[in-house]
């Protein structure tokens, strides 16, 4: 059930939002959650391939702002990305379905990388405009690090004292010589 007409509803919402942002007025805090009216999808094609993929990212009724990540394992990039309103949507006449088009170049893989993946983050910002927020190449590798082990020095041999030397000499002199 509605108690306000559309124009009054919009005006009242704008007045409440402005009052919440102003330091001069005290208004109960309202949580405003905005939703997508039109579905937004991406279409991408890797260069050198004939296959075009289409994926709906932001469905009708999903809240914004929000961000979605798309990960491609064992890819380095090198693709064309088109962000558009999904096909078959009733749009205003004269409004193109295409929102943005990007050419993403190929990243450089590190030779020691064991695994790599290509990640794109598409964001539907606070104005309900979808855009490519970030593109990155993620690489993983294992690195062995040799840690030197410190060995405790062996204790020095005790120096022979004069008494020990005299005892050795005495035993040599006191030894019996074999008889011939």
β-bridge partners, 116: 139
For residue 115, the model assigns a pLDDT of 85
Distance CA 168, CA 47 (A): 90
CA–CA dist 83, 128 (Å, integer)? 13
For residue 42, give the nearest of 50, 54, 60 by alpha carbon.
54
In the DSSP assignment, the letter for residue 161 is: P
Q: Report the predicted TM-score, pTM, of the whole model to 2 decimal places.
A: 0.60
Would you call 70 helix, strand, or coil by DSSP?
strand
Report domain extents, the chain. 1-32, 35-140
**Chain-centre distance of CA 82, in angstroms?**
22
- Give the model's pLDDT for residue 27: 82
Vertex 148: Cα angle to 145 and 150 (nearest 5): 155
Say which CATH topology domain 35-140 has: Substrate Binding Domain Of DNAk; Chain A, domain 1 (2.60.34)
- What pLDDT does residue 28 have? 79
CA distance linking residue 15 with residue 118, whole number of Å: 45
**Rounded-to-integer distance, Cα 175 and Cα 166, Å:** 14
Question: Alpha helices of the chain — where are they, by DSSP H?
Answer: 6-21, 162-173
**pLDDT tens, the chain, 180 aa long:** 356 777 788 888 888 888 888 889 888 777 777 888 888 898 988 888 888 888 898 888 888 888 989 888 877 778 888 899 888 788 888 888 888 898 888 888 888 878 888 888 999 888 888 888 888 888 888 888 888 888 877 777 766 666 665 665 555 555 555 555
Compute the half-sphere exposure of residue 127: CA atoms within 13 Å on the CB side of its CA.
3
């Amino acid at each position: 059930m509605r108690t306000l007409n559309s124009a009054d509803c919009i005006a009242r919402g704008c007045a409440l939002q402005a009052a919440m942002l102003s330091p001069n007025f005290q208004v109960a805090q309202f949580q405003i959650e905005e939703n997508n009216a039109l579905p937004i999808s991406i279409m991408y094609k890797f260069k050198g391939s004939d296959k075009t993929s289409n994926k709906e990212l932001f469905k009708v009724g999903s809240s914004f702002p929000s961000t979605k990540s798309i990960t491609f394992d064992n890819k380095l990039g090198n693709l064309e990305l088109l962000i558009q309103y999904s096909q078959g949507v009733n749009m205003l006449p004269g409004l193109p379905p295409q929102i943005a088009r990007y050419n993403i170049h190929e990243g450089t893989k590190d030779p020691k990388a064991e695994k790599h993946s290509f990640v794109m983050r598409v964001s539907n910002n606070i104005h309900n405009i979808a855009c490519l927020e970030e593109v990155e190449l993620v690489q993983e590798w294992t690195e062995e690090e040799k840690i030197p082990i410190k060995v405790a020095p062996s204790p020095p041999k005790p120096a022979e004292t004069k008494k020990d030397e005299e005892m050795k000499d005495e035993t040599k002199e006191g030894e019996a010589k074999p008889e011939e």
